[in-house]
Amino acid sequence: MSNEIPQIDEEKIKETTLLGTPLTITTFTLPREIESYVEEVLTELLKQLEHERLKDYLVYCVQELAVNAKKANTKRVYFAERGLDIDNLEDYKLGMETFKDDTLSNITHYLKLQEDKGLYVKLVFQIIKQILQIEVRNNSALTKPELSRIHNKLSLSRQYTSFEEAFLSIIDESEGAGLGIVVVVLMLKKIGLDKDCIDIMGTDQETIVRISIPLDKVQYSE
């Protein structure tokens, strides 16, 4: 699928809510237009599920995870271009010293490389027995340092009760702010869910982040 912006299909979303049919959005570069489209789809999906109040929480979570997935793909093409082995710990440390500055200053180039190599970000929405399941997939396998960092962030997320506390406690310059996964967990806490509702899996071909939201257990903190 190209980055051509599709139109909202209310009937297709209805199939998702009533029949549990997966609704998939695939992009290679995650332009703002696709981000807006994802927000519109999620808004309509929650409207049909009569859970509109979840919108702000879930839009944030989905966009944060999608950006993380895109960045993981950018990392692959950046390391390849520099002739570095992303699975080698020393190469990984070396590449991450310059990754952020180099890619920010020439992001169009790296996004073009991602698209040429077919590195995608795929969002999948599905309703399974009153559970809204959202998957963010990208076809870059996790490295050991990445997996370790993610699990460390999930573990740390148990300690924080507010966004302010998290911002003050976590700064990881090599990977950006390092706050994304923690803030997602905090967002889920604000609707009465815990970190067990988020699952991060890796295969040889993909990284999959899954959020499972039992709609009958959602609570809102005022």
Domain residue limits, the chain: 10-140+197-215
What pLDDT, in 10s, does the model give residues 157-172? 777 776 677 666 665 5
CB distance 14 to 48 below 8 Å: yes
Q: Name every residue whose Cβ is closer than 8 Å to that of residue 177 and which is 6 or more positions away in sequence.
A: 170, 171
Other residues' Cβ atoms within 10 Å of the Cβ of residue 18: 10
Query: Which numeric CATH code is attached to 10-140+197-215?
Result: 3.30.565.10
Is residue 55 scored above 70 in pLDDT? yes
SS3 content of the chain, % helix, strand, coil (to 5): 55, 15, 25
- State the pLDDT confidence band at 1, using cuts at 50, 70 and 90: very low
Q: Tell me which residue of 41, 195, 61 sits closest to 125, measured CA to CA.
A: 41
pTM value > 0.85: yes
Confidence (pLDDT) at 208: 93
The DSSP H or E segment spanning 12 is helix 10-19
Residue type, 172: D
